[in-house]
Structure formats: C-alpha cells, structure tokens
C-alpha cells in the first residue's frame, strides 16, 4: 500500500487480518490516516463548527488561535489512533516511494533505501492543491487549503481564488471568524487583501512515483488511468481514492477499497459502474446537499418531470429550523412523472448532510416520492420536510430554484 488514505488503510487492515503480509508506505508521519482526517474533511469541519460558534464579543484573532489549537489537538489524536490501527499488523514504512520496476518499489527512508516487491500494489497517494500559473502565487500570505488552516495572523481581508466547494467552505468559515472575504472566479476583479487562498482544484500526487518504470499510464489530466475495477495498466497494480480521477470524497475512497477487495478476495464483479445516486455536501451555513439529477438534466435524459421547490422558512411541517434559529435555504425535488420515482434533490437546509443520505437511498432502491411524502418521521425533525415539499410536486415548467 502506498499512501495511508481511507481505501489504503482499510485494505491493509483487512488484508493483514487474513494472515498475509502487508507493507504500508507513507511519505509523511503527519498524514497517518490520510488526507481526510489530517488536512481536509475532519479538521476543516472542526474549524467550521468553531467559527459558527464565535460570538460578536469574541476577539477574532484570539478566538481563531484557540480554534486552531483545538483543531490540532483533535487531529493529533486521530493521527495517532490511525497509526495504532495498523501497528503490529502491517509493516509501517515512513518514506517516499517510487517504482523501479513492475510491482517493485524503492522507498527512501531516514535509514536508507528499502526495496519492496509485492504481488499486489495499491496506489493511494491522493491529490494536492493545484497551483495555477498566476503571478505572485509564491508570495508570502498566499495560502492553499492546507496551509491556511494555520494562517497567522488571521486575515483581516481574505481573497479566495475559486468558487468550488472548498473555496466556499473556507469563505464562510473565515467570514465567521471575522475576516472580510471576497471570492473570485473567472473574472478580471482587483481587490485589496492581506491574504489570498488559492482554491483552484486539486491535482494527483504522482510526482515522486516514477510511474513509467512500472508501465502505469495516466489520463489527460495526469490522474492514474484505471478501469471500472480500479486496475491500472500494470498487472497487479490498483489505484484508489483521489489519485484515480474519480470523485474526490472519502466515502468514494472507502467504496474503492470494496472494489479492490472484491478483486483480491471476492468474485471480482464489483465495479465503479455499480455506484448510483452518490450524494455530496458543501458545508455552508446551512449545508448544501445534492444527489441525482436536477430538472433540466432529467428532461434532457428523456423524463417527464415533476418538480417541487420550497423555501425552508415557509415549510410548516418542518419546525426544526425555527427551533434552532436557522431558517435560511430551499429544498427542491425532481421526480419522474410516470413512475413517481425520485430522480434527484437539492437540500439547502439545516441537517441536509444527514437528510440527503435518506434521499440517496430512496433513489437507489427506487422508493417513490409518495412513499417518502407519506412517511412517518420523528418530530421535530428536518425529515418532516418530505411530508410537505413532496406534496407540492407540479409538472416542470422550465424554471427551477
């Protein structure tokens, strides 16, 4: 295993449990457990929650410093726990790996070069922030999504290049911490700022791997090319997680491990093509969660479409937003008019990161809109929105929220 991500560590633990020999190679001890728990999902969401809790009377700089310290404490515990998870079960190697032949890897460690030959190699080195060719991008106080988590001092005026989910999450986070934030996207905009966050996507972490030596091909974006069973062009070599060019989510990496495990131990039938209705959430305030098709896409796909959209503040059957004081947002559903099956949803509301999973499951198992609409849900809960919003489905008119 090269790279201690979600797929790699889960495969390593399961493989070791069968009594087989496993080596886990990780370039940096700060990345035990992978990107998600060390620099991405978990630490950023911890900072987002801290930012949302800041009161007007809290000094921005002092509060930010304390929030970062809390983040670091949490991540340190998770990093150590992930190391303990494999300690004694796999050979743990700290160092930079590169291929020197088919399924043969040289690792530069603090104690010298270590050569590892294996029947199966799994690449899971992930992705790193993209560095576009912009004048001044290497200046001090120009951050990426990793380094800005330890920005010092807290930016008074922050400019963010990129309006994807990473850029928007950091925009709201730093606004709540007390920064004045401007988001820039494909424009000749000039703004004054004392710090810049470059959130212009992520690129595969393949620079050190010497893929050519193993006959491993990449696609036109530089990601490792794989088939639907995550096999690379080199026999016995798989690529999992962000490095293979699929959706860059931890839960996709976890599913990647299931596909590879099925190749190694199971029937070999599991495939990326099996994935249906994969949800996503951008952690704004409130969070924005989406799954499936919107109405325009559904029409293009040949469906006769029913559509409903309702502001959260006006959903009488959903009192939870009013109870917690977060009534912003809108909920939309796209439904097939003939089968009444849910085709997609966009939930911009409190608790959407949980509610979207129910909707995704409904799509996968072909639960109808009527079954969701007539569901018996706990009260008060955000799920109750289904009772009301789905009761207002109308033929799609070409306009959406």
Instruction: Write out the catalytic residue numbers.
Output: 379
- Residues 273, 228 contacting (CB under 8 angstroms): yes
Which CB contacts under 8 angstroms, 24+ apart, belong to 226-235? 228/271, 228/272, 228/273, 229/259, 229/260, 229/263, 229/268, 229/270, 229/271, 229/272, 230/256, 230/259, 230/260, 230/263, 230/272, 231/263, 232/123, 234/102, 234/103, 235/102, 235/103
Instruction: Report yes or no: 152 and 60 within 8 Å, Cβ to Cβ.
Output: no
- Nearby residues of 337 by Cβ (< 8 Å), 6 or more positions away: 303, 304, 305, 306, 395
> With contact defined as beta carbons under 8 Å apart, do 298 and 355 qualify?
no
How many angstroms separate the CA atoms of 369 and 341, rounded?
6
Round to whole Å and give the CA distance between 138 and 148: 14
CA dist., res. 285 & res. 305, Å (int):
30
For 132: left if phi > 0, alpha if psi spans -120 to 50, otherwise beta; the answer is beta
H or E element, residue 344: strand 342-348
H/E element, 62: helix 60-86
HSE toward the beta carbon, residue 75, CA cutoff 13 A: 25
Q: CA of 207: how far to CAs of 57, 232, 235, 243, in Å?
A: 47, 17, 21, 11
The residue count for the chain:
401
Q: How many other CB atoms are found less than 10 A from the CB of residue 29?
A: 11
Chain mean position to CA 244: 14
């Amino acid at each position: 295993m090269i790279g201690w991500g979600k797929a790699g560590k889960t495969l390593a633990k399961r493989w070791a449990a069968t009594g087989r020999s496993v080596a886990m190679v990780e370039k940096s001890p700060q990345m035990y457990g992978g990107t998600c728990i060390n620099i991405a999902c978990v630490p950023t969401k911890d900072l987002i929650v801290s930012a949302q809790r800041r009161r007007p009377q809290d000094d921005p700089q002092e509060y930010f410093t304390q929030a970062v310290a809390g983040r670091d404490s949490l991540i340190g515990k998770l990093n150590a726990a992930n190391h303990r998870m494999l300690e004694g079960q796999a050979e743990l190697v700290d160092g930079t790996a590169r291929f020197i032949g088919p399924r043969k890897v040289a690792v530069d460690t603090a104690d010298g070069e270590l050569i590892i030959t294996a029947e199966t190699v799994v690449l899971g080195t992930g992705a790193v922030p993209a560095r576009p060719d912009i004048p001044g991008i290497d200046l001090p106080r120009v951050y990426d999504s990793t380094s800005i988590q330890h920005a010092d001092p807290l930016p008074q005026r922050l400019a963010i290049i990129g309006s994807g989910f990473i850029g928007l999450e950091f925009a709201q986070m730093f606004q709540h911490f007390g920064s004045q934030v401007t988001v820039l996207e494909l424009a000749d905009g000039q703004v004054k700022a004392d710090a810049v966050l470059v959130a212009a996507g992520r690129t595969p972490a393949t620079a050190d791997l010497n893929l050519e030596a193993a006959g491993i091909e990449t696609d036109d974006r530089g990601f490792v090319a794989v088939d639907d069973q995550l096999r690379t062009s080199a026999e016995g070599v798989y690529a999992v997680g962000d490095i293979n060019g699929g959706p860059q989510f931890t839960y996709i990496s976890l599913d990647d491990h299931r596909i590879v495990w099925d190749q190694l131990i199971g029937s070999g039938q599991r495939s990326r093509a099996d994935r249906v209705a994969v949800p996503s959430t951008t952690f704004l305030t409130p969070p924005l969660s989406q799954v499936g098709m919107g109405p325009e896409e559904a029409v293009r796909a040949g469906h006769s479409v029913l559509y409903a959209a309702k502001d959260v503040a006006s959903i009488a059957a959903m009192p939870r937003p009013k109870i917690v004081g977060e009534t912003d947002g809108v909920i939309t559903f796209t439904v097939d008019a003939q089968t009444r099956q849910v085709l997609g949803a966009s939930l911009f509301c409190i608790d959407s990161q949980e509610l979207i999973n129910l909707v995704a499951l409904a799509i996968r198992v072909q639960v109808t809109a009527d079954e969701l609409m007539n569901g018996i849900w706990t009260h008060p809960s955000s799920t109750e929105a289904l009772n009301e919003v789905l009761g207002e489905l109308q033929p799609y008119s070409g306009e959406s929220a």
